[in-house]
Amino acid sequence: MTSDTRKNVIIIGAGAAGQFCAIECARRGRSVLVLDHGPRTGAKIRISGGGRCNFTNRHVSPANYHSRNPHFCKSALARFTPRDILSLVEKHHIAYYEKDAGQIFCARSSRDIVAMLEQECARAGVEMRLSCPLSDVAREEGFFVTTKQGVFRSDALVIATGGPSYPALGASGFGLDVARQFGLTVVPPRPALVPFVFSARDQKVFHELAGISLDAAVSCDVKCFRGSILFTHRGLSGPAALQASLYWTPGEPLVIDLLPGTDVLEVLAAKRRSRMELRNLLAGHLPKRFAEAWCDQMVTSKPLDQTSDRELKETALRLHAWKVLPKGTEGYATAEVTAGGVDTDELSSKTMEVKRVPGLYFIGEVVDVTGELGGYNLHWAWASGFAAGQFA
Ligand SMILES: Cc1cc2nc3c(=O)[nH]c(=O)nc-3n(C[C@H](O)[C@H](O)[C@H](O)COP(=O)(O)OP(=O)(O)OC[C@H]3O[C@@H](n4cnc5c(N)ncnc54)[C@H](O)[C@@H]3O)c2cc1C
């Protein structure tokens, strides 16, 4: 069954990027069809930000994005700013609030953002087909998309299917398969913004600390993230650890400053003449159970007046630079995003169109542009969707 009406634009994926692009295309008078295999739009938006959707960040900048080409995102981010999404949100009378580091959340529920996108799509005349599994995409004088609901044709095709992280919400590697089908380079995908899994040895030592969190600074590659870390049964989570996972390469250690902003040597030296044990002193600065477990593994805890200067220095150094070598991460099942994706060299940074395949566009998370935690990924979805929406 082939649909006899050919659309100007077919967009695959009714998530953040796909719907935003659809709105922009339709506002330009293009006929637009959005296809999604899931039963609802914006599945990830609904659960994002713990149900409050951290939909942008006041301080969005290219420096918050990881990509093989860190310059690629600049053009789209410059043309769609946090103020632009806030204007739309305000037009829909959606209350929001700002948290640390410029993160902007819905005051009520992420469903407000979902409803906003659905209303804007309906107002602009976008046709939406949900619960519509796709089997094939082909190009021949335009594009053909074969689905369970029929074959649809279009002049332009926009792939907005995100990455394979969080498959429970309908995520798939479909977009990457389409990229490969058209001969495009794909930067190897990997789960990111994801908890770390400790080695078997570290799990044995630290699993009893599950639930304990502390303020730390986690360094990985050239990046350092200050924030909370949370011990889990299998490893390490919490905002600072999740951020580090975006920059982590398997086999590399994490370097964790357990007392950032504190001169540990000074703290230890101040008790130099005391009979207090190191573990008891540290329990005043770190969660007690963690201080005990850490001391058991890393140092010999003895009264401070029996500790040499060299031992004190070494202890201070270890507390400021605790090296942990993770075995891996929790993987796609719980990763907030997929890093890697369609190589940005294949795309125009102005339009998101594939340079070698006129009419084919990739937007959102499927592209090798991954934001840090804090509203940057949804902002990339809006900005890249907006960019493609001016041209597709
Ligand atoms: C638990 C969680 C919390 C998050 N919280 C935040 C947050 O607070 N702030 C933030 O900025 N980011 C957050 N993110 C990341 C953010 O949700 C994504 O980066 C963003 O939604 C990506 O948008 P997208 O449109 O590219 O892809 P998606 O939103 O993933 O949309 C892709 C769409 O394509 C559809 N699709 C996939 N495969 C197929 C296929 N084979 N056929 C047809 N349709 C298909 C899917 O059903 C989906 O509707 C979170 C992610 C998760 C998992």
CATH number at residue 374: 3.50.50.60
For 30, 126, 282, 302, the CA distances from 24, given in Å and listed in that order, are 9, 10, 56, 67
**Of all protein residues, whose CA lies closest to atom 41 belonging to ligand 1?**
174
Cα gap 232→262, rounded to integer Å: 25
Last residue of a domain, one of 329, 350, 368: 329
- What is the predicted pLDDT for the residue at 2? 57
**Of all protein residues, whose CA lies closest to atom 44 belonging to ligand 1?**
36
Cα gap 246→368, rounded to integer Å: 12
The gap from C-alpha 110 to its chain's centroid, in whole angstroms, comes to 17
Last residue of a domain, one of 329, 359, 379: 329
- What is the predicted pLDDT for the residue at 8? 98
Last residue of a domain, one of 285, 305, 329: 329
Question: Measuring CA to CA, which residue among 32, 392, 384, 362 is closest to residue 175?
Answer: 362
Model confidence pLDDT, tens digit, residues 345-385: 999 999 999 999 999 999 999 999 999 999 999 999 999 99
- What is the predicted pLDDT for the residue at 4? 56
Q: In this structure, what DSSP letter does residue 51 have?
A: G
Weakly modelled stretches of the chain, pLDDT under 50: none
11 and 137 both lie in a single domain? yes
CATH number at residue 303: 2.40.30.10
Cα gap 288→281, rounded to integer Å: 10
Question: Measuring CA to CA, which residue among 198, 195, 174 is closest to residue 186?
Answer: 174
The gap from C-alpha 215 to its chain's centroid, in whole angstroms, comes to 21
Ligand 1 atom nearest to CA at 171: 37
* Host domain of residue 74: 2-191+338-389
Task: Report the residue among 24, 55, 99, 336 best suited for mutation to probe ligand 1: largest number of ligand atoms under 8 A from its CB.
Answer: 336
- What is the predicted pLDDT for the residue at 1? 57
- What is the predicted pLDDT for the residue at 100? 82
154 and 15 both lie in a single domain? yes
58 and 82 both lie in a single domain? yes
148 and 26 both lie in a single domain? yes
278 and 382 both lie in a single domain? no
9 and 110 both lie in a single domain? yes
* Residue 15 CA, ligand 1 centroid: distance in Å: 6
178 and 268 both lie in a single domain? no
Helices 16-27 and 376-389 cross at an angle (nearest 10°) of: 30
Taken in order 9, 10, 11, 14, the sign of the CA dihedral is: positive
384 and 301 both lie in a single domain? no
Q: Give the bridge partners for 187, in sequence order.
A: 341
182 and 216 both lie in a single domain? no
Cα gap 362→184, rounded to integer Å: 11
120 and 38 both lie in a single domain? yes
Could you count the other beta carbons within 10 Å of the beta carbon of residue 203? 15
Query: Taking phi first (over 0 means left), then psi (-120 to 50 degrees means alpha), and beta for anything else, what does residue 22 get?
Result: alpha
- Sheet containing 54-57, strands listed edge to edge, beginning at the edge strand earlier in sequence: 54-57, 103-106, 96-98
Ligand 1 atom nearest to CA at 19: 25
Side-chain-facing half-sphere of 43: CA atoms under 13 Å: 20
CB-defined site of ligand 1, < 6 Å: 12-18, 36-38, 43-44, 47-49, 53-54, 134, 160-162, 166, 170-172, 174, 336-337, 364-365, 375-378, 381
Could you count the other beta carbons within 10 Å of the beta carbon of residue 32? 28
- What is the predicted pLDDT for the residue at 300? 81
72 and 119 both lie in a single domain? yes
Cα gap 122→198, rounded to integer Å: 48
Question: Measuring CA to CA, which residue among 261, 268, 344, 364 is closest to residue 312?
Answer: 268
**Of all protein residues, whose CA lies closest to atom 31 belonging to ligand 1?**
15
138 and 170 both lie in a single domain? yes
For 121, 132, 140, 142, the CA distances from 154, given in Å and listed in that order, are 18, 17, 10, 6
Describe the chain by its helix, strand, coil percentages, rounded to 5.
Answer: 35, 25, 35
Cα gap 114→18, rounded to integer Å: 12
Cα gap 277→271, rounded to integer Å: 10
Give the number of domains in the chain.
Answer: 2
